[in-house]
Chains A and B, each alone.
Chain A
């Protein structure tokens, strides 16, 4: 019982760490690159406009996509490692 609980707690902790990392990237590309850091990214130009504009209207969405698939892939693997996956 004790080892089982420890394992459940570890599973949840690993999950929270993964979610934390992915959420940080989520905020960085949208609120960061797309809005707050736009003046900094203006140094890099793409199609006549600063990179921040590209992140706001294109790039952030591509990163969001990658984040969800990475999450699904890592979590499904984690489920198996911790033996809590569906049969």
Chain B
């Protein structure tokens, strides 16, 4: 069957399922809207959390990053999974015991301060909005590449779908849709990976294939190292960044992951504290299915790509793919502008090598090569993979539906975090304390609609900094939310002034450090110093600074808390109360 028809069938079919769930799972109380009535089974919540967490970036971009960064990309793998250990051991069970609806609400109550609550709301909105832009872009790109509809039309379709199930169903609708979306995205990710692993290594499981031999009897990673070093690239398995940056960047992603409000609020939906503990484990099971597959996809895609272009030993002209003989996937991706060829030496052959490598330069010049001619956008690796590996059309159609599921599920989770912060923390918490439940529910729906419109607008007019979002969102989550919650639970002596001072110091140092090297508000040319290792403080990259911001937050909060008055007695009792599970059931009704 024709690929476009198949893709419409897959995407249309999955959207019909999401739509059906929306009608079935309508929220009628604020508890249902914010926390799905706290009736979600821990395994189901684990699945929903996995879909909530794995965004367009995880699905589309991560394997591409791994393909080109090699070992150094381990920081994403360890960082984005290791955060769940922090979440499970340090935050989720206690926040579930606390039994409220939002992250700022915990910070506001625990530190008995509206200011602390508002600081948390501001951090939450900045990181969630920046994060949601990437999802909306992912929806637009998936539609325009696979369904041949314009980017903006694709975006409107995505907005309409999210509108239906998020505004009607709130957390309840989002949870059940996310479960369906998880199933779609994990099938779409693992099926092509299994095919490719079988073709390259004969192993069904990509996790095993990555460490197995290819047909010639050489280990896959050895072959990949040899193939790319022959073209002047650095060894795939070698460490290229400094150890300090690798450690701090990984730690920043771990702490940031544990501090992301849209992930934390998923643990408010389970019935009991012990379900929250278990649910974090299940979430990581479902996440690890994709995350342990991704490094295999990355390495195998890189090998397939290079083997397609450089068909034999470096040196003879026959070993380079002729442009006229390029495969269909090459032509398809050229149309999107994400894959480009520039025949610098006018020989009609494609040369793909590292033209910045000084050692390889002499050899390249000797061969009459005048520079690298192929530019590959990292983001196409996962999407083009099935085609590169000559997989059937239905697999390609499934990948399109999977990319959309990943983007939509994360967008919905973020939108809920934003709308609940507005309706519950700002509207009910600060501006209209006497609002009725019906009024608040209406406010939540209006806030959700507004958030979708803002996200759509930003998806249509993406600010230049969209690509920098990762550093900012994780830096903020790591340096503000995580330390505040952790101290709130583990340090009975932490008080309002300490928490506020800590959060402010954490976010300002992190934001200033990022802007210092990347430009104020990411506006090009406004940076105070070139973004180069020799200018960085102790050689710490801006992306890796979140962990430093978090440490500063902890120190300031600790010192200020000790220097000022202890928290009132009822707050100390509150801390004692959230440390034991008993009584969690009663905390749900309020």
Which residues of A pack against B, CB within 8 Å? Answer: 8, 11-12, 15, 19, 22-23, 26, 30-31, 34-36, 38, 46-50, 53-54, 56-58, 60-62, 64-65, 67-69, 71-72, 75-76, 79, 84-87
Contact = CB atoms under 8 A, between A and B. Distances in A.
B546 to A, nearest CB: 16
Contact of B246 (A35, A50, A67): A35
Interface of B: 71, 74, 77-78, 81-82, 84-85, 88-90, 93, 207, 210-212, 218-222, 225, 237, 239, 243, 246-247, 250-251, 272-274, 277-278, 280-281, 284-285, 288, 291-292, 295, 576, 579-585
A18 B472 CA distance: 33
Contact of A76 (B277, B284, B288, B585): B277
B496 to A, nearest CB: 23
Given A30-B78, A35-B246, A35-B247, A72 B295 contact: no
A11 B285 CA distance: 28
16 contacts: A31-B251, A34-B78, A35-B246, A48-B219, A57-B295, A58-B295, A61-B292, A65-B281, A65-B288, A75-B274, A76-B274, A79-B582, A86-B273, A86-B274, A86-B581, A86-B583
Nearest to B254: A30
Nearest to A68: B281
Residue from B81, B90, B211 having most chain A Cβ neighbours under 10 A: B211
Contacts of A36: 243, 247
Contact of A47 (B210, B288, B292): B210
> Chain A binding site: helix, strand, loop or mixed by DSSP?
helix
A68 B582 contact: no
A63 to B, nearest CB: 9
A49 B581 contact: no
Residue from A34, A36, A56 having most chain B Cβ neighbours under 10 A: A56
Given A26-B82, A65-B288, A48 B278 contact: no
Given A35-B74, A65-B281, 5 more contacts: A47-B211, A49-B219, A60-B78, A61-B81, A61-B291
Contacts of B221: 47-49, 53
Contacts of A69: 278, 281
Contacts of A76: 274, 277
A23 B89 CA distance: 9
Nearest to A69: B281
A50 B206 CA distance: 18
A71 B582 contact: no
B576 A68 contact: no
B549 to A, nearest CB: 19
